[in-house]
Chain A
Amino acid sequence: MSGPGVDSAKTDGGLPPLMPDLFESLAGPGRYGLVGSRCRVCGCRCFPFASHCPKCQVGMDREVVGTRGKIYSYTVVRTKAPFGLPEPYAVGYVDLVESSLRVFGLLDPATIGSLEVGMPVEVTVMPLGVDKEGRRCLRPVFRAWTGMRERSIP
């Protein structure tokens, strides 16, 4: 399954995504969404995409589950970084605005030092680290959200 995001992501530095159909680019400059799924029966959402609902065991539909959120918790990891990630690197759980999912993800390396619980963030994509096969790739990253981008879109 290759959604629209996979193709447009490839134009971003020409690098492949960490895995297929993890994120997609949306209308508006630099806007990305996390791709998950929604149950056809109970309506619950999953991230990343799951083919079957863990509760109902029926099929799920592909859906963008979030573009923005607030940091629920964060840490800066100073061990030897796995998968060629920068040292140090920041990760956190983010409460997504659009789906009320709490998802784990990388946080923008530029925000190390200014991270706070409750900080508004948005989904973007950056060339960070390598994939399982050791190839440089794009990963979804949460970066500080200022609100400016939203207002600039008519």
Chain B
Amino acid sequence: MIAGAGNTPFFRHPDRTVLSLAREAGAKALADAGLAPADIGMGFFANALSGKLFGDLTVGQNAFAEMGMPRIPVVNVENACASGSSAVHLACMAIRAGEVECAMVIGAEKMCVPQIGLLSSGDSELDTLLGLVAPASFALRARRHMAEFGTTLEQLAMVTVKSRRHSALNSNAMFRTPVTVEQVLASPMVADPLTRFQSCPNADGASAVIVCSGKVGRRIGTRVAVRASVLASGNYDNPQDLARWRTDYDGISRAYEMAGIGPEELDVVECHDAFSISEILHYEALRLCPPGGGGELLTRGATSLGGRIPVNVSGGLLSRGHPVGATGVEQVVELTRQLRGDAGSRQVDGARVALAHCMGGDRAADTKSMTAIVLAT
């Protein structure tokens, strides 16, 4: 079960360290759960870039020690953009195994620094040496989706328009100003057909959740249960279908199976909208619509707040910002609030079943990691 959740605003925090962001999120999660540091039996710390940007490794032990939790086992987790959700997955496994009663997950990242550059799948990879930067890999999916299904530039831009309408209701989001389709399309081209407004921004921030056993959950009165948690790696088969992401379809199927639900039972989704096309591809992998139907599902309003199945009501990566290690944890923070009915002006009415979906890394035209976590009351 999810005992508690906390986060910092996602923004540029030039004067703060990864540790200070992590502490803030962790302390808020403890306070939210009504638990003490002594109640936490294990710590998982998700961070993808501190090693590269600051030369800092195994930051998790520092964070948990500073928060009054020395001695407990701590695992540092790096799975690119799925680092945070992979850490949540590990915490769920630890609880399911009966290893501990409570595990804390903190995802924290500081990436608004001059040395960030462009993220790729690794400086030694041939694809990277041939110019495969992250926006390009999604632009190639977008171009293929347009060629096969007739998805339009306007539909792609609508993903960002919807995202900003949602983030206007989230005071922790980085970009909160509404935009129009015309503004999205007129923003600078990054990798055609994707413009800057269709690319998620780098951000600093931290998020934390506490996963607990049913016993502790009943004692503290939490109602949010983890119904499924899946972590899968890519199949790396060649050829890959860029318009139908097999690893995504397969991982989500496993999550539905584990939770004993289908897409029609979902009330709210947070998905990995790193770029506008990503969200459309994930609608299809989630079976919210048939393959190729993502653009139409969006423009019908089905995935907006008030629609049939609201997606990324927090603003998602596109508007909330994407502090890589925090993102997958933040999705669970957001959905926990939705399921408790605590999401304020962006509350999805009567939300009872939620799915958090994340992806990370790039190899052989596939994702390296994908996660799907189903929460329910």
Q: Contact residues of A with B, CB < 8 Å? A: 18-19, 22, 46, 48, 54, 72-83, 85, 89, 91-93, 95, 100-102, 104-106, 117, 131-132, 139-140
Contacts and interface: CB of A to CB of B under 8 A. Distances in A.
A93 B242 contact: yes
B141 interface: yes
Contacts of B120: 82
A46 B239 CA distance: 11
Contact of A102 (B128, B142, B193, B240): B240
A83 B136 CA distance: 15
A90 B132 CA distance: 10
Nearest to A116: B147
Given A74-B140, A82-B118, A104-B365, A89 B131 contact: yes
Q: Which 5 A-B pairs have the closest CB atoms?
A: A102-B239, A75-B139, A73-B144, A117-B147, A73-B140
Contacts of A46: 238
Interface string B188-207: 11111110000000000000
A75 B139 CA distance: 6
B131 A85 contact: yes
A74 B239 CA distance: 15
A94 B148 CA distance: 16
Contacts of A89: 131
B190 A79 contact: yes
B236 A54 contact: yes
12 contacts: A48-B126, A72-B242, A73-B140, A73-B144, A73-B242, A75-B139, A78-B191, A79-B190, A91-B136, A101-B238, A106-B131, A140-B130
Nearest to B132: A104
Contact of A93 (B142, B191, B365): B365
Given A77-B135, A95-B239, A83 B365 contact: no
A104 B127 contact: yes
B220 to A, nearest CB: 47
A139 B239 contact: no
B129 interface: yes
A83 B133 CA distance: 11
Contacts of B189: 76, 78
Given A82-B118, A82-B120, A117 B143 contact: yes
A139 B130 contact: yes
B238 A102 contact: yes
Interface centre among A73, A89, A92, A106 (most CB of B within 10 A): A73
Interface of B: 118, 120, 123-124, 126-133, 135-136, 139-144, 147, 188-194, 236, 238-240, 242, 365
A91 B132 contact: yes
A131 B130 CA distance: 10
A82 B128 contact: yes
A105 B136 CA distance: 12
A80 B133 CA distance: 10
Contacts of A104: 127, 130, 132, 365
Nearest to A48: B126
A81 B188 CA distance: 15
B191 A72 contact: no
A132 B130 CA distance: 11
Contacts of A140: 130
B129 A131 contact: yes
A74 B120 CA distance: 18
Interface centre among A81, A85, A91, A92 (most CB of B within 10 A): A91
**Max chain B Cβ within 10 angstroms of own Cβ: one of A78, A80, A117:** A78
A140 B238 CA distance: 20
Given A18-B129, A77-B135, A92-B140, 20 more contacts: A18-B130, A54-B236, A73-B140, A73-B141, A75-B140, A75-B192, A75-B193, A75-B194, A76-B191, A76-B192, A77-B133, A79-B190, A80-B118, A91-B140, A100-B239, A102-B238, A105-B130, A117-B144, A131-B129, A132-B123
A26 to B, nearest CB: 20
Which residue among A95, A105, A140 has the maximum number of chain B CB atoms within 10 Å of its CB?
A: A105
A23 to B, nearest CB: 12
Nearest to B199: A79
A73 B239 CA distance: 13
B144 to A, nearest CB: 4
A139 B127 CA distance: 12
A121 to B, nearest CB: 14
Contact of A19 (B129, B132, B193, B194): B129
Contacts of A106: 130-131
A75 to B, nearest CB: 4
B128 A101 contact: no
Contacts of B240: 102
